[in-house]
Amino acid sequence: MRELSEDEVFACLRGALRLERTGGGLLPIRFTQDALAYYSAGGEARRVRALCPAGVSIEFLAGAGPVSVAVAMEIGEAARPFAFAELYVDGEPAGTIGSERPGRLVEGGIRIGPSPCDSKRRLSLYLPHCRVASIARIAVEDGGSFEPAPRRKLLLALGDSITQGMTALHPGSAFPVVAARELGMDLHDCGVGGHVFDAASLPVRPAENPALITVAYGTNDWSRGSDGSMIRPYLTRLRELYRAVPIFVLSILWRPDADRPPAGGYSQPRNVAGLTIDEFRARLADAAGSLPGATFVPREVLLPASSEYLFDDIHPNDNGHLLMGRNLAAFIRASGAAP
């Protein structure tokens, strides 16, 4: 097998701005120095989540013959305990490496058989999304036809832990990854667990030249007592950075602790600002509606009101993320904004 050089890894890298050399290998960094300093100032948990390579993938082309891929990663600090690398071939899952409670090193190999078509295939290797993970080694055996995949139009995803992919076990199931895959786009995922609407988190452009932007904050804002006043400054700052890019603002998902229907004298709980979660959603929709080029994505579009799709009554499980990503992609496509 032929081990990829640092230059080759970088040429195939999607969803990260740079590679930082560590004692364990090459750590993909999703954020600018200014943005990383902002998240680090928010505490150790926020720093770790910002360093996780959520949505980061290694994208390359391989020939029609059998292909073997070997991966070794040093696993560090955790937003969640699990760590998996997952290989997709032309948008379909082909193999997984890792475990729910890995040790210091995750390593293994994936072999895929020949293609029935005599054409090159796109291989996407998604890296762990909830652990700090440095690439120690990627090696490929494919008969010498390896090359970086061509770049595609970019989807920039901004948001909290749900955008980061929690709590899907597998990185290829996270809803922004699914949406980008469905739309045939590259992804830059700037989700950071625990985060809220805050214009200061956008000191500079998170990524250059996105074709679409999704924004998914609000559940932390509401539960921490926000009155929604931070929404408009955040969206205004985002529009200043990206003057003409379509923006899709996602509603807060259904939460059984906050969305129980009024019955028998029961009413929806209110946060310390006095808002029910539906009232907060309405403020979110109003703010999105007043922003030129922005579209609000209603809760009902994203996921059904069912705990079947939730891991912990807030975060989607793998099936929830998969459905949410497909639903979001279908909504974007129906809007006419898909590239």
pLDDT band at 194 (very low <50, low <70, confident <90, very high): very high
Neighbouring C-beta atoms of residue 287, cutoff 10 Å:
22
Which DSSP string corresponds to 224-275? TT--STTHHHHHHHHHHHSSS--EEEEPPPP-TTT-PPP-TT------TTS-
pLDDT band at 48 (very low <50, low <70, confident <90, very high): very high
Residues 118 and 182 grouped into a single domain: no
Mean pLDDT of 76-104: 97
pLDDT band at 63 (very low <50, low <70, confident <90, very high): confident
pLDDT band at 208 (very low <50, low <70, confident <90, very high): very high
Structure tokens given for 210: 């996105």
Residues 140 and 181 grouped into a single domain: no
- Domain boundary (148, 169, 196) is at 148
The predicted-structure confidence for 261-280, as pLDDT tens digits, reads as follows 655 556 789 999 999 999 99
Compute the mean pLDDT over every residue in the chain, rounded to the nearest whole number: 95
Angle between helices 33-41 and 44-51 (to 10 degrees): 150
pLDDT at 159 over 60: yes
- End-to-end CA, the chain: 37
Residues 29 and 105 grouped into a single domain: yes
Residues 161 and 22 grouped into a single domain: no
Residues 231 and 97 grouped into a single domain: no
- Domain boundary (120, 148, 176) is at 148
Mean pLDDT of 1-9: 93
Residues 249 and 266 grouped into a single domain: yes
The predicted-structure confidence for 100-132, as pLDDT tens digits, reads as follows 999 999 999 999 998 888 888 999 999 999 999
Range of the domain at 88: 2-148
Could you tell me the CATH number of the domain that includes residue 117?
A: 2.60.120.260
Residues 140 and 261 grouped into a single domain: no
Could you tell me the CATH number of the domain that includes residue 182?
A: 3.40.50.1110
CA 120 to chain centre: 27
pLDDT at 202 over 70: yes
Residues 100 and 170 grouped into a single domain: no
Residues 44 and 162 grouped into a single domain: no
pLDDT band at 143 (very low <50, low <70, confident <90, very high): low
Q: Is 305 helix (H, G, I), strand (E, B) or coil?
A: coil
pLDDT at 144 over 90: no
What integer pLDDT is reported at residue 261 of this predicted model? 63
Q: CA–CA separation, 91 vs 89, rounded Å?
A: 5
Element (H, E) at 319: helix 318-335
Q: CA–CA separation, 309 vs 301, rounded Å?
A: 14
Residues 16 and 97 grouped into a single domain: yes
Q: How many domains does the chain fold into? A: 2
Q: CA–CA separation, 127 vs 141, rounded Å?
A: 19
What integer pLDDT is reported at residue 65 of this predicted model? 87
> What are the backbone angles phi and psi of residue 196, rounded to the nearest 5°?
-135, 175
- Domain boundary (148, 175, 196) is at 148
Residues 91 and 188 grouped into a single domain: no
pTM confidence score: 0.97
What integer pLDDT is reported at residue 34 of this predicted model? 97
What integer pLDDT is reported at residue 119 of this predicted model? 84
What integer pLDDT is reported at residue 224 of this predicted model? 97
The predicted-structure confidence for 298-311, as pLDDT tens digits, reads as follows 999 999 999 999 99
pLDDT band at 146 (very low <50, low <70, confident <90, very high): confident
pLDDT at 189 over 80: yes
Residues 136 and 169 grouped into a single domain: no
pLDDT at 142 over 80: no
Mean pLDDT of 285-293: 97
Mean pLDDT of 133-141: 96
